[in-house]
Chain A
């Protein structure tokens, strides 16, 4: 089954297990997401009952209360079971951290533009009658609104920074210690807690706090165990009532598995998967948040899979079916976030990042049969979760693995996120992790970096709008949209006598925004101390050893929060255009450029043309790329200068969809971009400006010092299906990916330009102005081609030949 040998492109005969997978998948697709307030209600009840106890004890008791009283459901045809709430596809509310988010959206949540959730009357009733009255004035979000520093607030309110994300949901952005739980079971973890607890001396200052903290862990563990038992009971009940002998047998097996894990060590591949998923639902229930990352499943599940295969307990097909079933489960839950945050990251983005490939803890090739099966699961299921990543080690991983990656890219789902292993390792080391452990890094959320069961941070605490940095520089600290002076006065640009002065002003603006974000980050760190997570902390060995919660810095490695830069290409292209037009070529005086921008280029078409023709990032042009290198080295230096109580602050470049809302806050830019348009995404070139093909894009992107942006860098590339139609094309994409790694670029993901896109572009050319395609030896804007040539290109998305260029 796992294709360890190279296989030619041919239609794959669909295995019989896919019948179940199609059924489960269809159910996910057919179910509209709802709000599910059952567990917020149960949490509230639990907090009430534990009043008077320390916060973490109350959280643990309330958590156990949720486990003991929540609705338990096993849906038809499932093999892997579990759910954080009572509904199959729902958003849950983290009442203790951010109840008030829903309060503002009670009337709109069912119909809002991004990520609507259907709110049923009974849920609304529970919210208004039980949840709101108890939590009013007590949530972390309200603390944040009360404490946000003034200058941070002003920048936030003007769309220069986005920093509410962590106040409107829970932790997430972490990789729990799944491996420890699966291998030793809760019973092993409980044993460690008890041992640690037995060493305490309650007459010693500090040990009392440790004692009740460890007690809270035991309560959380008990809750997790109780949840699984209740699934076993439910499976028994369903089995007794089931007439279909096949399903009856399956339900009996489910009961057996749930009776075993996660309490006891998993013995089989199936038990390992179930143990993992139970825990996944539990930590998500504990705090609604994106990016609880299962991480390197091909590594920690491998011993279970291999033992099953060796003992003849399972066939590869059966294992694939189980893995596919788990993949469906990953797609069921929906992240609940406020309307604004949803705009920055739309699509109910759970970001449960699963990873395959890379090297092992000795730095050797770690690819195994499961690595291929994990890719196959995404090929089988083709849903939006899990967020599938690969770590690709150019020197160690085999070509057959890379080929399987390209076969998945061909499907056009946008998966996998391709990560350069060497840079991932470097990033972890730059976070302060020694090489031996850095070898075990895993992608987190979008493209951030993490380390299983050992690392604490907010990987993407706040976003900085780099378009605004250019605007502030040109307007001497004034925000164009509001007309207010809200940033540093860096001088009137027309008085700058050299490019260096201009660049220095840009840097000062970036420094100012960075300071405002750091100040806000410190406030959030303090507030975060009031959101302990005993269920999550259970699988962090150091949280037990230190008797200190994840939220309090109990993990082995504590890292300063991530600061994310958005509008990379806009910043580079704008600085480049100013250098080129104003200072080097002297084609446009600064006053005129500013005047043109003031008018959004209306009546200044000639200046706009010059702006658009200035060198652009993404074309392997040293003129622009050297500026990229300089400014992003500066930004990394600047962010790393700051420490939080948890560690050095960390930069990253990963807009999920934040480049669009940020663009709405930024007027025309010297890059030639018109006002209020989306900014460029990630480290990608601005749409339609990369005219020299993929190698040139990669060369430009390589000028950013990726290893220093330790919360990852994100590159989106478009690929035409024609490239992936043939064996030759697949081989060349593999070579392209290897070259990308050799050049030190961290990440790439591919969007395949499908036939539908081209047909739409033909119909509505205005919307697809930047769409580039290859025509007989050159790159052209699709919408500028004649209809006959367009038709021919549309045709080649299904039929392909060597062009006679």
Chain B
């Protein structure tokens, strides 16, 4: 009893909740983006998910330079820009009180991140039950790296599972296995990102070895829990879209007993605005997204290897 109470009041740090999503799992889904990730992939489309702290975004195009935020800041971290058309925040001085966010009239200041209890989030999730029912949908925990908040995730997934709501979790699996083990009993679908099979390349780009990810996946695969695995490859032109890497990924996947399919997610730049708002450098600025033909061709190449694992690519969801 005490345990249940504790679970209800567990809190998670969240960036946002997206309802009726059709992109992250079967049916119409409520996708919960959790805040914080240990990796920082250069192509990341949700840079606001990387930091574990709440963050401030600022859009100068919307700013009217009214000065309200300058006055409101207790740390005097905000000053008028030289051209007088906007403001500049000294991020070193900023303590994250978000007073500026509250007073901004023009929606130029954004706040990324908020806290919610399992109980409150369940209320939000339950709102779409009828949509899950008709579509076979449910919830997807995404991020950021949801497994950085394992107890919160597990409590939430358990609640969903026992109430008949389909559950999915998307992860880099770059976490201690114990975190993964906490959620597995309540999971229907595990979406695992495999960015590169070559450890050197992986380390070079992502800043961490792929060994933890691969080991965790193998270990999870050998458990007796009934969940399906979907492997996601973010298709980054010139990085991991080579014959050898795709073949190696496929080779690894054939060892997985619970695998259902592989999804090729073409790199896109929809997140570039957020880098601008956060004042972060977008390292992929000059990288062009792959053409639809290229994605299709890559999928065909993987299919030609005849592993029997279904390959889906972004342009032909069936």
> Closest residue of chain B to A735, judged by CB?
B135
The reply to whether A695 and B128 form a contact with Cβ atoms under 8 Å apart is yes
The reply to whether B268 and A776 form a contact with Cβ atoms under 8 Å apart is yes
Alpha-carbon distance between A800 and B266 when the two chains are bound, in angstroms: 10
- CB within 8 Å of B: which A660-709 residues: 692-696, 699
The reply to whether B16 and A778 form a contact with Cβ atoms under 8 Å apart is yes
> Closest residue of chain A to B128, judged by CB?
A695
Alpha-carbon distance between A742 and B46 when the two chains are bound, in angstroms: 35
- CB within 8 Å of B: which A690-730 residues: 692-696, 699, 723, 726-729
The reply to whether B265 and A804 form a contact with Cβ atoms under 8 Å apart is yes
Alpha-carbon distance between A803 and B232 when the two chains are bound, in angstroms: 12
The reply to whether B315 and A799 form a contact with Cβ atoms under 8 Å apart is yes
The reply to whether A775 and B135 form a contact with Cβ atoms under 8 Å apart is no
Q: Tell me, rounded to whole Å, the shortest Cβ–Cβ distance linking A8 to chain B.
A: 9
Taking a contact as CB atoms closer than 8 A, the residue among B31, B130, B269 that contacts A788 in the complex is B269
Instruction: Specify which chain B residues have a CB less than 8 angstroms from the CB of A793 in the assembled complex.
Output: 270
Alpha-carbon distance between A695 and B139 when the two chains are bound, in angstroms: 14
Q: A723-B22, A803-B23, A805-B23 are in contact. Are A777 and B33 (CB under 8 A)?
A: yes
Q: Is B267 on the interface with A (CB-CB < 8 A)?
A: yes
> Closest residue of chain A to B142, judged by CB?
A805
Alpha-carbon distance between A93 and B292 when the two chains are bound, in angstroms: 56
Instruction: Specify which chain B residues have a CB less than 8 angstroms from the CB of A693 in the assembled complex.
Output: 18-21
Instruction: Specify which chain A residues have a CB less than 8 angstroms from the CB of B130 in the assembled complex.
Output: 739, 742-743
The reply to whether B272 and A789 form a contact with Cβ atoms under 8 Å apart is yes
Instruction: Specify which chain B residues have a CB less than 8 angstroms from the CB of A799 in the assembled complex.
Output: 292, 315
Q: Is B283 on the interface with A (CB-CB < 8 A)?
A: no
Q: A727-B317, A777-B21, A801-B315 are in contact. Are A695 and B28 (CB under 8 A)?
A: yes
Alpha-carbon distance between A799 and B263 when the two chains are bound, in angstroms: 17
1/0 contact trace for B264-298 toward A, CB 8 Å?
01111111110010000000000001001001000
Taking a contact as CB atoms closer than 8 A, the residue among A738, A778, A786, A802 that contacts B272 in the complex is A786
> Closest residue of chain B to A737, judged by CB?
B134
Taking a contact as CB atoms closer than 8 A, the residue among B45, B105, B107, B318 that contacts A805 in the complex is B45
The reply to whether B270 and A776 form a contact with Cβ atoms under 8 Å apart is yes
Taking a contact as CB atoms closer than 8 A, the residue among B133, B268, B318 that contacts A792 in the complex is B268
User: What class of interface size applies to chain B in its complex with A?
Assistant: 35 or more
The reply to whether A735 and B27 form a contact with Cβ atoms under 8 Å apart is yes
Instruction: Specify which chain A residues have a CB less than 8 angstroms from the CB of B269 in the assembled complex.
Output: 788-789, 792
The reply to whether B131 and A792 form a contact with Cβ atoms under 8 Å apart is no
Instruction: Specify which chain A residues have a CB less than 8 angstroms from the CB of B292 in the assembled complex.
Output: 799, 801
Q: Tell me, rounded to whole Å, the shortest Cβ–Cβ distance linking B139 to chain A.
A: 13
Q: Is B218 on the interface with A (CB-CB < 8 A)?
A: no
The reply to whether B315 and A775 form a contact with Cβ atoms under 8 Å apart is no
Q: Is A29 on the interface with B (CB-CB < 8 A)?
A: no
The reply to whether B318 and A776 form a contact with Cβ atoms under 8 Å apart is no
Q: Tell me, rounded to whole Å, the shortest Cβ–Cβ distance linking A594 to chain B.
A: 20
Q: Is A605 on the interface with B (CB-CB < 8 A)?
A: yes
Instruction: Specify which chain A residues have a CB less than 8 angstroms from the CB of B33 in the assembled complex.
Output: 777, 805
The reply to whether B315 and A777 form a contact with Cβ atoms under 8 Å apart is no
The reply to whether B105 and A742 form a contact with Cβ atoms under 8 Å apart is no
The reply to whether B27 and A732 form a contact with Cβ atoms under 8 Å apart is yes
Name, among B16, B20, B289, the residue most crowded by chain A CB atoms within 10 Å (CB to CB).
Answer: B20
The reply to whether A801 and B295 form a contact with Cβ atoms under 8 Å apart is yes
The reply to whether A802 and B316 form a contact with Cβ atoms under 8 Å apart is no
Q: Tell me, rounded to whole Å, the shortest Cβ–Cβ distance linking A772 to chain B.
A: 13
Q: Is B314 on the interface with A (CB-CB < 8 A)?
A: yes
The reply to whether A726 and B317 form a contact with Cβ atoms under 8 Å apart is yes
Alpha-carbon distance between A763 and B127 when the two chains are bound, in angstroms: 37
- CB within 8 Å of B: which A783-801 residues: 784-786, 788-789, 792-793, 799-801
Instruction: Specify which chain A residues have a CB less than 8 angstroms from the CB of B24 in the assembled complex.
Output: 805
Q: Tell me, rounded to whole Å, the shortest Cβ–Cβ distance linking B246 to chain A.
A: 17
Q: Is B151 on the interface with A (CB-CB < 8 A)?
A: no
Alpha-carbon distance between A396 and B18 when the two chains are bound, in angstroms: 32
> Closest residue of chain B to A620, judged by CB?
B127
Taking a contact as CB atoms closer than 8 A, the residue among B18, B107, B318 that contacts A727 in the complex is B318
Q: Is the interface of B mostly helix, strand, loop or mixed?
A: loop
Name, among B61, B127, B268, the residue most crowded by chain A CB atoms within 10 Å (CB to CB).
Answer: B268
1/0 contact trace for B106-140 toward A, CB 8 Å?
01000000000000000000011011011111000
Q: Is A609 on the interface with B (CB-CB < 8 A)?
A: yes
Q: A695-B19, A699-B127, A738-B134 are in contact. Are A802 and B317 (CB under 8 A)?
A: yes
The reply to whether B270 and A803 form a contact with Cβ atoms under 8 Å apart is yes
> Closest residue of chain B to A793, judged by CB?
B270
Q: Is B62 on the interface with A (CB-CB < 8 A)?
A: yes
Q: Tell me, rounded to whole Å, the shortest Cβ–Cβ distance linking A299 to chain B.
A: 27
> Closest residue of chain A to B265, judged by CB?
A804
Q: Is B158 on the interface with A (CB-CB < 8 A)?
A: no
1/0 contact trace for A752-793 toward B, CB 8 Å?
000000000000000000000001111100001110110011
The reply to whether A739 and B23 form a contact with Cβ atoms under 8 Å apart is no
The reply to whether B20 and A695 form a contact with Cβ atoms under 8 Å apart is yes
Taking a contact as CB atoms closer than 8 A, the residue among B45, B134, B267, B271 that contacts A735 in the complex is B134
Q: Tell me, rounded to whole Å, the shortest Cβ–Cβ distance linking B221 to chain A.
A: 23
Alpha-carbon distance between A393 and B21 when the two chains are bound, in angstroms: 25
The reply to whether B265 and A736 form a contact with Cβ atoms under 8 Å apart is no
The reply to whether A789 and B273 form a contact with Cβ atoms under 8 Å apart is yes
Instruction: Specify which chain A residues have a CB less than 8 angstroms from the CB of B313 in the assembled complex.
Output: 801
> Closest residue of chain B to A802, judged by CB?
B314
Name, among A606, A696, A723, A804, the residue most crowded by chain B CB atoms within 10 Å (CB to CB).
Answer: A804
Q: Is B181 on the interface with A (CB-CB < 8 A)?
A: no
Name, among B18, B33, B59, the residue most crowded by chain A CB atoms within 10 Å (CB to CB).
Answer: B18
The reply to whether A742 and B18 form a contact with Cβ atoms under 8 Å apart is no
Instruction: Specify which chain A residues have a CB less than 8 angstroms from the CB of B318 in the assembled complex.
Output: 727-728
Q: Tell me, rounded to whole Å, the shortest Cβ–Cβ distance linking A21 to chain B.
A: 32
Q: Is B234 on the interface with A (CB-CB < 8 A)?
A: yes
Instruction: Specify which chain B residues have a CB less than 8 angstroms from the CB of A785 in the assembled complex.
Output: 273
Q: Tell me, rounded to whole Å, the shortest Cβ–Cβ distance linking A131 to chain B.
A: 56
The reply to whether B131 and A735 form a contact with Cβ atoms under 8 Å apart is yes
- CB within 8 Å of B: which A586-638 residues: 605-606, 609, 620
Instruction: Specify which chain A residues have a CB less than 8 angstroms from the CB of B28 in the assembled complex.
Output: 695, 732, 735-736, 739
The reply to whether B18 and A605 form a contact with Cβ atoms under 8 Å apart is no
- CB within 8 Å of A: which B45-90 residues: 45-46, 59, 61-62
Alpha-carbon distance between A729 and B318 when the two chains are bound, in angstroms: 9
Q: A695-B28, A801-B292 are in contact. Are A736 and B131 (CB under 8 A)?
A: yes
Instruction: Specify which chain B residues have a CB less than 8 angstroms from the CB of A804 in the assembled complex.
Output: 45, 234, 265-268
Name, among A692, A726, A732, the residue most crowded by chain B CB atoms within 10 Å (CB to CB).
Answer: A732
Instruction: Specify which chain B residues have a CB less than 8 angstroms from the CB of A792 in the assembled complex.
Output: 268-270, 289
Q: Tell me, rounded to whole Å, the shortest Cβ–Cβ distance linking A797 to chain B.
A: 13
Q: Tell me, rounded to whole Å, the shortest Cβ–Cβ distance linking A758 to chain B.
A: 14
Q: Tell me, rounded to whole Å, the shortest Cβ–Cβ distance linking B143 to chain A.
A: 10
Taking a contact as CB atoms closer than 8 A, the residue among B18, B61, B136, B316 that contacts A777 in the complex is B18
> Closest residue of chain B to A692, judged by CB?
B19
Instruction: Specify which chain B residues have a CB less than 8 angstroms from the CB of A609 in the assembled complex.
Output: 105
Q: A777-B33, A784-B62 are in contact. Are A728 and B22 (CB under 8 A)?
A: yes
1/0 contact trace for B304-318 toward A, CB 8 Å?
000000000111111
Q: Tell me, rounded to whole Å, the shortest Cβ–Cβ distance linking B75 to chain A.
A: 23
Instruction: Specify which chain B residues have a CB less than 8 angstroms from the CB of A723 in the assembled complex.
Output: 22
> Closest residue of chain B to A801, judged by CB?
B314
8 example contacts (A-B, Cβ-Cβ < 8 A) are as follows: A609-B105, A693-B20, A699-B128, A736-B131, A777-B46, A779-B18, A786-B61, A788-B272
- Give me the interface of A with B, judged by CB distance under 8 Å: 605-606, 609, 620, 692-696, 699, 723, 726-729, 731-732, 735-736, 738-739, 742-743, 775-779, 784-786, 788-789, 792-793, 799-805
- Give me the interface of B with A, judged by CB distance under 8 Å: 16, 18-24, 27-28, 31, 33, 45-46, 59, 61-62, 105, 107, 127-128, 130-131, 133-137, 142, 234, 263, 265-273, 276, 289, 292, 295, 313-318
Top 5 A-B pairs, shortest CB-CB distance: A801-B314, A735-B135, A728-B317, A776-B270, A738-B134
Beyond A738-B134, A801-B292, 14 additional contacts (C-beta under 8 Å) are A620-B127, A695-B131, A728-B317, A732-B27, A743-B130, A777-B18, A777-B142, A784-B62, A786-B61, A788-B273, A801-B265, A803-B23, A804-B267, A805-B18
